Amino acid sequence: MSDTILNIENITKSFPRVMANKKVTFDIKKNAVHAILGENGAGKSTLVKILYGLLEPDEGNIKLNNKDFKVNSPAEARKQGIGMVFQHFSLFDSLSVKENLILGIDEKMSYSDLENKLQNISSRYNLPLDLDAPITALSAGEKQRVEIVRILLQDPQILIMDEPTSVLTPQEVESLFVTLNALVKEGRTILYITHKLEEVISICDTVTIMRSGEIIDTSSTSNQTAKTLATKMLGQKLDDLKTNYGHINDEVNFEVKNISCDFNDPFLTDLKNISFQVRVGEIYGIAGVAGNGQSELMDILTGENINIKSGSITFDSKKIEKYGPQKRRDLSISFVPENRLGHSAVPELSLSENILLSQFPENNFIKNGIILKNNVDDFANNVINDFKVITPGNDAKASSLSGGNLQKYVIGREISSKPKILIISHPTWGIDAGAEHSIRESLIELSQNGTSIIVISQDLDELIEITHKISVIYDGNLSKPFKTSEVEIEKLGLLMGGKNE
């Protein structure tokens, strides 16, 4: 037991409708880089938030150096020797590096003390910093360095890194790995949260794999390959196809060609030369771990972002890449973005009013600028009945519906007008199993009636269940399409982890 620094025993944490951690148990060895690997929603973040005092577990114990460890705030966690570098930086952009460091540490420190300590840290761990530079002038990698230094100033035993490479360039990643190795050599322990298989193999000593809130395995990385990790991370996915795609003919009616888009923003993923074709009645799936360009691609497909660098979108032999959302709807293209509240629906408005967010040419909702309330109400009632939305009525606010019900309503609104194309992002994200099933069913039914559907989803099970073709997006690149019925799950897992063999 002497080489174990942290024992996690039976940690359970549930949120309304989800159990984020189920009896999570594993040990973390001192003086090592320990990875927690899992898909989004596997429960990684919940676990580290518990360790860092941001969440309280429902059950279970944590022992740090064989002593009970219980903290109620990040400040306490830091005092006990646990520091964390978040995926999104919490720095004041307008202040200098020095000012941010002084503000960020819990104890009082003079500038000269700080500078002495910093020199020491900078040279020891390969973390050069310009103390007087304003944060705005720094690259993502440099900002991360400031965050790491801020934590190191407090001399933690355990450093938690949450998806640290997600915003870094390959060169910055390399330099980060040098730093991490130096830290481990000093006797510190690093808890490394990631979904990237390569990183686990190259810098971590031990890996704990999580899936749906449970620990699948904890083992040394030395006898693992990306393939074995991918299988464990994704689980045995069932090839349970209930779909029949005999109705698909060879006619392509939606084509994306060489779309590239630069954002110049560390929190957005640039899209690189994305191309794919969808045939009439086909369900085309785009898999991938969150943050690899899905929402950026979605905005371009819906027309919410028409500032692309190059490329084209063709529908029914019309170039539509410069069309806004309404013009695309006029061509019978329909969209359901990922977020219901505040994007595909306005929570403060009634269900009836929410119908008006998405109007198709055949809807008779407006005459001379005046809303024909009866028509809108009728349409809303039909959606509520046809899609079995549970609600007191069409005048209920959208915010009063459960996630699943609102999603059924939004999808119902979009497919009641029988669109030629439906573009849908994360159709069953965050909703209960019943609603999930009925949504997937209606998508399959819709495609059998000749609608082409593009589904962007992190849920590989879902894509395998309903799609005809599937491709993977990773760091803004889209893989070639695979026939869903023939593709190996490991292959997809590798692509999702950025490994292209």
CA distance 7 to 1: 10
Q: Would you state the torsion angle of the CA atoms of residues 62, 65, 67, 72, taken in this order, to the nearest 10 degrees?
A: -50
C-alpha dist (Å) from residue 486 to 80, 229, 281, 373, 482? 51, 21, 19, 49, 7
CB of 342 to another protein, least distance (A): 4
CB of 424 to another protein, least distance (A): 13
Choices 155-163, 166-174, 197-205, 355-363 (CB under 8 A): range interacting with another protein: 355-363
Up-side HSE of residue 18: CA atoms within 13 Å toward CB? 14
Q: How is the beta sheet containing 318-319 ordered, strand by strand?
A: 271-279, 252-261, 310-315, 318-319
Question: Does residue number 106 form part of the binding site for another protein (CB under 8 A)?
Answer: no
Which residues from 76-105 bind another protein, rule CB under 8 A? 76
Choices 111-119, 194-202, 343-351, 468-476 (CB under 8 A): range interacting with another protein: 343-351
Which of 29, 343, 418, 491 binds another protein (CB under 8 A)? It is: 343
The two three-digit tokens of residue 416, written as one number: 């009641």
- Nearer of residues 258 and 339 to another protein, judged by Cβ: 339
Choices 123-131, 265-273, 334-342, 416-424 (CB under 8 A): range interacting with another protein: 334-342
CA distance 114 to 121: 10
Which of 54, 140, 182, 356 binds another protein (CB under 8 A)? It is: 356
Which of 144, 344, 425, 471 binds another protein (CB under 8 A)? It is: 344
Backbone angles phi, psi at 436, to 5 degrees: -55, -45
Which of 171, 369, 374, 486 binds another protein (CB under 8 A)? It is: 369
CB of 298 to another protein, least distance (A): 10
Question: Does residue number 370 form part of the binding site for another protein (CB under 8 A)?
Answer: yes
CB of 327 to another protein, least distance (A): 7
Cα four-point dihedral sign 178, 179, 185, 189: negative
CB of 414 to another protein, least distance (A): 11
CB of 436 to another protein, least distance (A): 23
CB of 456 to another protein, least distance (A): 15
Region at 457 (left for phi over 0; alpha for psi -120 to 50; beta for the rest)? beta
Q: Furthest-apart CA pair in the chain: how many Å?
A: 78
Binding flags for another protein, 289-308, as an x/- string (CB under 8 A): -------------xxx----
DSSP class per residue in 307-324: --SEEEEEETTEE-TT--
- Nearer of residues 136 and 326 to another protein, judged by Cβ: 326
Question: Does residue number 57 form part of the binding site for another protein (CB under 8 A)?
Answer: no
* Strand ranges in 95-202 using DSSP code E only, listed in sequence order: 158-162, 189-194
CA distance 150 to 243: 53
Residues of this chain that interact with another protein (CB under 8 A) are 72, 76, 302-304, 324-327, 329, 335, 337, 339, 342-349, 353, 356-358, 366, 369-371
